[in-house]
Chains A and B, each alone.
Chain A
Amino acid sequence: DAGVIQSPRHEVTEMGQEVTLRCKPISGHDYLFWYRQTMMRGLELLIYFNNNVPIDDSGMPEDRFSAKMPNASFSTLKIQPSEPRDSAVYFCASSLSGADYEQYFGPGTRLTVT
């Protein structure tokens, strides 16, 4: 099993640019989660999907952030326009049947906005 796959692993971009982060969940998992981790705020849930449908996006910081899941094997998190305060590690995770089951995290995308 390949696990959760994220790309890119590292992204450095200039303020104002669009950033797209990608995630492929574990096959058969019906929940997908996007998290952001910073030293100051720790690990925060941004949004999660069940069967490709967004269930809770209350953690999305503002309208500059959007997430999609067009099919069961792919999701994107987009930031447009990016700002230096968006610099963080973004993790994607997937699980079976919701949060009572183990969430498997991808390796993360380390984003730096200059």
Chain B
Amino acid sequence: RKEVEQDPGPFNVPEGATVAFNCTYSNSASQSFFWYRQDCRKEPKLLMSVYSSGNEDGRFTAQLNRASQYISLLIRDSKLSDSATYLCVVNREGGVGGKLIFGQGTELSVKP
């Protein structure tokens, strides 16, 4: 079993749709959580951190459920420019140091 597992893609949605991605992690000691975005043939870039209380950044909302070891990302009013692969990322150790474990990614394609 992979340490970080994501919904298989691709997700094909029309502009304006709401889409949700899910992610589970296996190590209960994991401390920090993130969503990264990767455009085709580009490097990953941080989209947002995920906090225990949930957090929102414009059209993007991230949720964390530590008890279920589950992370989600909700994108509202999707735009063509949201088309990318979304990577669920977990810091296994936390604190100063540690390393990130990346999920396989979920591909999103937003169509006109």
Q: Interface on A for B, CB 8 Å cutoff?
A: 33, 42-45, 48, 50, 55-56, 91, 97-100, 102-103, 105-108
Closest 8 pairs (CB-CB, A-B):
A105-B43, A43-B102, A42-B104, A99-B98, A102-B46, A98-B97, A99-B91, A98-B96
Contact yes or no, B46 A99, CB < 8 A: no
CB within 8 Å for A98 and B87 given contacts A42-B103, A43-B44: no
Q: Give how many B residues have a beta carbon under 8 Å from the other chain's beta carbons.
A: 22
The majority secondary structure among interface residues of chain B is loop
- Is B98 in contact with A98, judged by CB distance below 8 angstroms? yes
Q: Measured between alpha carbons, how far is A84 from B25 in the docked complex, in Å?
A: 32
B interface residues with partner A (beta carbon < 8 Å): 31-32, 42-46, 87, 91, 93-105
Complex Cα gap A48–B93 (Å): 14
Decide if A100 touches B99 in the complex (CB within 8 Å). no
Contact residues of A: prevailing secondary structure: strand
